[in-house]
Amino acid sequence: MVKFFIQNVGIGIIILSLILLPIPMYSISYIGTYNQVNADNKLVIYTYEYFFGLTNETLSGGVYDKIFTSFENRYGVDIDIRFFSGARNIFLTALQEYKAGVRTADLLIGIDNIVVQEAKKAGILVKINETDLQNLSRIDSDLIDNFDPDLYAVPYDFSPIAFIYDTQRINLTELKFEDFYNQTLASYLVVEDPTLSTTGVSFLLWQIGVYEKILEKDWKEWWSKIKDNIIVTKSWGEAYYSYFLNEQEGRPIVVSYLTSPVYHGLYENTTRYRPMLVKYNDRWYSWFQIQGIGIVKGSPMVDMALQFIDWLLSDEVQSLVAENDIMLPASTDILNSLPENIRQYLVYNISEIEPANNLVSVQEVYNNIDTWLSEWQEVMTAGPSMLPLYMISLVAIVAIIGVLYMFYRRKRVKI
């Protein structure tokens, strides 16, 4: 399995409170065992399970040797890897340990363009000098700008968010968000909760960008109109496996990644599942979910950590991304030279996709993400309009008062 098959974890609505308050150990989920290590010549890495297809049981041979053993041999260093169930758990563990003043990771790998903003707010990342990374010039400058132009973390892979549909159950040729106002189409869709899922929050930002900046409409309108017909799940895994691939659920459209069909193509030899983006003004739009790597403040291994980041950005490692992490390499050259057996499953030419990240800036996300998530919850939990009920109640009250008044008058007349 690979990054494509990761269960997304929470984004959390009250982000600031998570940063300011102590975080209980039971709230953090990690995989496998981990031993506290001596800082001397030991590079400690926190990442997500299935990073390049790796788990705690596959820390030898294959892609592990190509990435990690090769680096260890080249620089004479030992690497300890700790796997977590998602980007937020990587960050929350490092934050807790950092606040406690204990040895934590030197490197956080897999933090996305939302979590990196939380990490910057918490002040646990080291600002990277671009002159320290020889291979940074190989990375697409737009990815850097849309991830973290301040370079507290550096992107190494990405994928546009997309609607993935099952061609054996539905045919899509072109799509706009407003098409889901059709109740039948909406009843085919399953999405992820943006307060709990990194895929979900990326999808929300995609939709906000289109509605607010292109259509000039209140983004909440879309959710209000379709919420009664769609399915909202807690994680990407639940959406993809429990609903989308489970044909009995009748949900042949799911919010996932443009690269999702690559897995089905390479490892299942099928083109059944295809991506669909939204089209406005003759341009295809998507939100680019970007994953990056950052150095934890106070690390005793900063120089070695910089060497590893540079290694992750090298052609040798970037060429492994598409087939093993089922994402797209951040390196411009490697992306442009992807083999046809991978490119065919993407359907779209990446250069022809307009990133919705350009519509919603990094600073806007930083300033508004808490509010947007809170507003999303309000929309999704709000019941039907209470106005008709109020009107009925008012009429009933007036009628009762009228009856009582007439009864009172008749009583007085008899007296």
| Same-domain status, 250 and 300 | no
| pLDDT digits 0-9 by tens, 387-399 | 344 444 444 555 5
Domain assignment of residue 272, given as a range? 159-287+375-381
Asked if 210 and 280 count as a contact pair (C-beta separation under 8 A), the reply is yes
| Same-domain status, 25 and 146 | yes
| Same-domain status, 151 and 295 | yes
What CA–CA distance (Å, rounded) separates 324 from 54? 9
Judge whether 205 lies within some domain: yes
What CA–CA distance (Å, rounded) separates 227 from 215? 20
DSSP state of 271: -
User: What is the count of structural domains for the chain?
Assistant: 3
Judge whether 370 lies within some domain: no
Q: To the nearest whole percent, how much of the chain has pLDDT over 90? A: 71
Judge whether 196 lies within some domain: yes
| Same-domain status, 171 and 31 | no
**291 HSE (CA, 13 A, CB side):** 30
| Same-domain status, 153 and 196 | no
Judge whether 204 lies within some domain: yes
Judge whether 312 lies within some domain: yes
Comparing 409 with 113, the larger pLDDT belongs to 113
| Same-domain status, 320 and 401 | no
| Same-domain status, 93 and 61 | yes
The residues, ordered by sequence, that sit 6+ positions from 92 with a Cβ below 8 Å of its Cβ are: 18, 23, 27, 28
DSSP state of 7: P
| pLDDT digits 0-9 by tens, 5-49 | 444 434 443 333 333 333 333 234 444 433 344 456 899 999 988
- Asked if pLDDT for residue 149 goes beyond 70, the answer is yes
What CA–CA distance (Å, rounded) separates 100 from 87? 20
| Same-domain status, 8 and 115 | yes
Which CATH number does the domain housing residue 13 bear? 3.40.190.10
| pLDDT digits 0-9 by tens, 104-132 | 999 999 999 889 988 998 999 999 999 99
| Same-domain status, 150 and 163 | no
Other beta carbons within 10 Å of 378: 11
Helical ranges in 123-254 per DSSP H? 141-147, 183-186, 198-209, 220-226, 236-237
